[in-house]
Structure formats: structure tokens, C-alpha cells
């Protein structure tokens, strides 16, 4: 029998990773979604590691790489996702060896910082055995759609604006004192326009011919939840217009609850609260690990992070 091999994943591993996903989660990872997730951004190649047992993928760790803007400088971040070992091969030693191999590959690829939203099973392992720092749970801000407080606003336009407008807007709107994935046109279009089978709705507001804000939303029939995945704006009028557009779409779809994320000290928390949302929804674990000195401050302090549900691959 050939020995178990830890190696970098390749595009040819798609069927094996998809089979592992099905065995681990009892649901499918469609091939177009796998292709989009890990090979859909030529400028930001993913860093993925698999355990190969004689040609069969029995474990996997994926890292989705994105540029980020952090207090006036650029960083390279990785979202750790799809941490899987086959139910027949669950072994802590294998998991740790695979994780360490992926961490080494991420360092070689020049990543500064990793972050993850681990489930209850992997959460303690990442903290105790792999050196991830706990940034506290993200509590979803939620409110009944019928009780949402919002000002009258001119309607936002449906869809995304031109790429040049997204790029220009991000240069103006990126946080000066925090950390956020770079919401340039390449990221926004990959995340919300190119994902196969996703039912996203996007909106934007123009002011005097210039982009003033944009938002992305999704409706989850299970629970009848309308998620505000992204909302970026340069003033309260644009924010109100975007929320009004999202709320109208949620109402059309039959949503009962509106939900959004905000981290500690994120100005969006105040925005959500002004509309009647409160941190009473489900909690999501949030951890980070610095791979270079440039990432250390951000791995240790959640207050730097400007984070939304669009930062997660779940939504």
C-alpha cells in the first residue's frame, strides 16, 4: 500500500475534494462552485493542501487568498476553509500534519495573516494546537423585517456599477484605521457576480455621476432570513437608499428577519443599531493567526477588523 502523502492540491483534485466534501458534510459541493472558489481568481491563487492515500483525497485544507487594506498598507490575507478529513480516516495527527503543511505553504506564498470561522469541533483545535488567536464570537445583528427603522430614501439602482467606479470608490471608502479585504472590482465581481448558482442581489447608488455606495444581499428560505452581506457607503443618504432597496427585495422574497455582521468598534454596528438591528442572532467563532510580523497586531485585536458576511464562504 502506498504511504499517505501530503501535497499541494491541483485542479485535477476537484472530483476527489468534492467526494470528500460529500462524505464529510452529507451534501454536495458542485464542481462549478469548487472551480469558482479555488480557481476562479487568477490574480489570487488559492493555497490548498490534501492528504493523498493512493490517489484518493482523504483530507483537505483550503486557503482563499485575498489582498487587504490595513491602516494604510497592503497585506495578503487567507481565509482558512474546508478543513476536512474523511470520516473513515479521522485522526488528530493527520489533521495537525495537514494543517502544518498548509501553514508552511501559506508562509511560502507570502501570506501575512490567516483568519477563519471554525465550527465547534475545529474551534478548540485551532486555538490550542495551531496557535490561532480567539477574536471573539461574531454575533449577528438582527431585527424583524416588519420592525426595521429606516428613513425615506431615493431608490438605489439594482446591479453592480462599472468596474472603474468600484475601484475608485474603494480607494475613497477603505478604512483608514482598520483592516478589510480589498473590495475592488475584481473581488466584488468574483464574489457576487461570478459564483455559480448563487441568488445574490446587488444594489448601488450614484451621486453626481460618482458611486456613493453599494450593497449585496441574499435570501435564505430556511428561517426566512434576509442577509445584508455587504454595505459600503460614503454617507447616510446612500446607506439608507441601499438598506431600503435590500429591505424591499427581502419583502418580495418573504423574509421575516434581517441579519448582518459587524465586528467590535466597527462603525457598521452603529449603523445596524440605528435601523433597529441588535446583536441577538447566531454567534460565529472568529479566529486569526499571524504569519509575518505585519499581521501580528491584527491577529490579536478584533477591533481592527471591518468584517461582513461576505467575508465568509458560507453565505
Q: How far, in Å, CA of 223 to CA of 303, rounded?
A: 30
Question: Which residue from 58, 48, 83, 85 is spatially nearest to 3, judged by alpha carbons?
Answer: 58
Give CA torsion, residues 272, 150, 199, 49, to 10 deg.
Answer: -10
> Is 300 part of a structural domain of the chain?
no
Instruction: Residue count of the chain, please give it.
Output: 315
CATH of residue 191's domain is 3.40.630.30
- Ordered per-residue pLDDT tens for the chain, 315 residues: 457 999 999 999 999 999 999 999 999 999 999 999 999 987 899 999 999 999 999 999 999 999 999 988 999 999 999 999 999 988 899 999 999 999 999 999 999 999 999 999 999 999 999 999 999 999 999 999 999 987 677 789 999 999 999 999 999 999 988 999 999 999 999 999 999 998 899 999 999 999 999 999 999 999 999 999 999 999 999 999 999 999 999 999 999 999 999 988 888 999 999 999 999 999 999 999 999 999 999 999 999 999 999 999 888
**pTM for the whole thing?**
0.93
Domain with 31 in it = 5-134
> Is 310 part of a structural domain of the chain?
no
Asked whether residue 96 falls in the same domain as residue 170, the answer is no
Question: What is the pLDDT at residue 107?
Answer: 98
DSSP E strands, 169-290 = 179-181, 200-207, 210-220, 225-233, 257-260, 278-284, 287-290
Boundary (domain end) residue, out of 75, 100, 134: 134
Q: Which residues contact 206 (CB under 8 A, 6 or more apart)?
A: 157, 161, 212
Question: What is the pLDDT at residue 1?
Answer: 47
Asked whether residue 38 falls in the same domain as residue 160, the answer is no
Question: What is the pLDDT at residue 264?
Answer: 81
Amino acid at each position: 500500500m502506498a504511504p499517505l502523502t501530503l501535497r499541494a492540491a491541483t485542479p485535477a483534485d476537484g472530483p476527489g475534494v468534492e467526494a470528500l466534501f460529500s462524505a464529510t458534510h452529507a451534501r454536495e459541493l458542485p464542481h462549478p462552485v469548487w472551480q469558482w472558489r479555488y480557481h476562479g481568481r487568477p490574480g489570487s491563487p488559492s493555497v490548498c493542501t490534501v492528504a493523498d492515500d493512493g490517489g484518493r483525497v482523504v483530507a483537505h485544507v483550503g486557503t482563499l487568498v485575498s489582498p487587504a487594506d490595513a491602516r494604510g498598507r497592503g497585506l495578503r490575507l487567507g481565509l482558512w476553509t474546508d478543513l476536512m478529513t474523511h470520516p473513515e480516516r479521522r485522526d488528530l495527527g493527520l489533521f495537525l500534519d495537514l494543517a502544518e503543511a498548509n501553514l508552511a505553504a501559506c508562509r511560502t506564498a507570502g501570506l501575512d495573516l490567516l483568519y477563519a470561522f471554525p465550527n465547534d469541533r475545529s474551534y478548540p483545535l485551532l486555538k490550542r494546537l495551531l496557535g490561532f488567536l480567539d477574536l471573539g464570537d461574531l454575533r449577528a445583528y438582527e431585527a424583524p423585517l416588519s420592525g426595521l427603522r429606516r428613513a425615506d430614501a431615493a431608490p438605489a439602482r439594482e446591479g453592480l456599477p462599472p468596474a472603474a467606479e468600484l475601484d475608485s470608490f474603494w480607494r475613497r471608502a477603505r478604512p483608514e484605521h482598520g483592516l478589510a479585504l480589498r473590495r475592488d472590482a475584481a473581488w466584488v465581481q468574483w464574489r457576487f457576480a461570478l459564483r455559480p448558482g448563487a441568488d445574490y442581489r446587488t444594489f448601488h447608488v450614484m451621486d453626481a455621476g460618482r458611486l456613493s455606495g453599494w450593497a449585496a444581499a441574499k435570501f435564505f428560505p430556511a428561517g426566512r432570513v434576509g442577509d445584508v452581506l455587504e454595505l459600503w457607503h460614503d454617507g447616510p443618504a446612500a446607506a439608507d437608499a441601499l438598506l431600503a432597496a435590500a429591505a424591499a427585495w427581502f419583502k418580495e422574497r418573504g423574509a421575516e428577519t434581517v441579519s448582518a455582521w459587524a465586528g467590535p468598534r466597527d462603525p457598521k454596528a452603529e449603523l445596524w443599531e440605528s435601523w433597529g438591528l441588535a446583536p441577538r442572532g447566531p454567534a460565529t467563532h472568529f479566529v486569526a493567526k499571524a504569519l509575518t510580523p505585519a499581521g501580528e497586531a491584527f491577529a490579536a485585536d478584533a477591533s481592527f477588523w471591518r468584517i461582513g458576511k461576505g467575508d465568509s464562504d458560507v453565505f
